[in-house]
Amino acid sequence: MRTRVLLAALPFAILATAAGAKPAAPKAEIVRTSANPTAVISSTATVPPGSKLVWLSGATASPVDPAKPDDFGDTATQTRSILTKMKAQLEGMGLGMGDIVKMNVFLVGVPENGGKMDAPGMNGVFKTFFGTPEQPNKPTRTTVQVAALGRPTTLVEIEAVVAKAP
């Protein structure tokens, strides 16, 4: 049965090609792989030629309370603020969080963690934006601890590369 269907379609394909029509190209898409299915990030992201690329500059959190301009909260609070702002920025460009293919996350160590970065605090929030049923894509990511960022109370800075396949 399968052979008959293919053979029946063959004359149409030959006629269409002879008439100058080109067969439809497969839709290009971004391919993400993960060495570990439970990982919070992708291992690779392959972006096809012709994709729209956008680089988001490093972003930091907004104050928790505008009346207290130096209070940005803890690592989790700052991560939520940054990712929420990124989401709004991307939506304004017709893109979404699922279009992020690469992130660089810079974390400052915190006293309550013995001077080490609060990766669990950042990852806890990260997992609410990526790899969810509503938004299953996960970007590739590098996370590093830095000595300091622009302000003494800034604990997180995140930059991203965004790609939208044609």
The torsion defined by the Cα of 128, 131, 135 and 141, in degrees rounded to 10, comes to 90
Per residue in 97-146, pLDDT (tens digit) is 999 999 999 999 999 999 999 999 999 999 999 999 999 999 999 999 99
Confirm if 74 and 121 have CB atoms less than 8 A apart. yes
Q: Is 31 helix (H, G, I), strand (E, B) or coil?
A: strand
**Confidence class of residue 16 from pLDDT cuts 50, 70 and 90?**
very low
Alpha helices in the chain (DSSP H): 2-18, 75-92, 119-129
Tokens at residue 125, please? 């929030």
pLDDT at 95 over 60: yes
pLDDT at 15 over 50: no
- Order the strands of the 156-164 sheet from edge to edge: 52-59, 156-164, 100-108, 140-146
Higher pLDDT, residue 28 or 56:
56
With a cut of 50, say whether residue 76 has pLDDT above it. yes
User: What was the pLDDT predicted at 128?
Assistant: 98
**Domains with residue ranges and CATH for the chain:** 27-164 (3.30.1330.40)
Mention every residue, 6+ apart, whose C-beta is less than 8 A from residue 52: 163, 164, 166
Q: Across all residues in the chain, what is the average pLDDT? A: 89
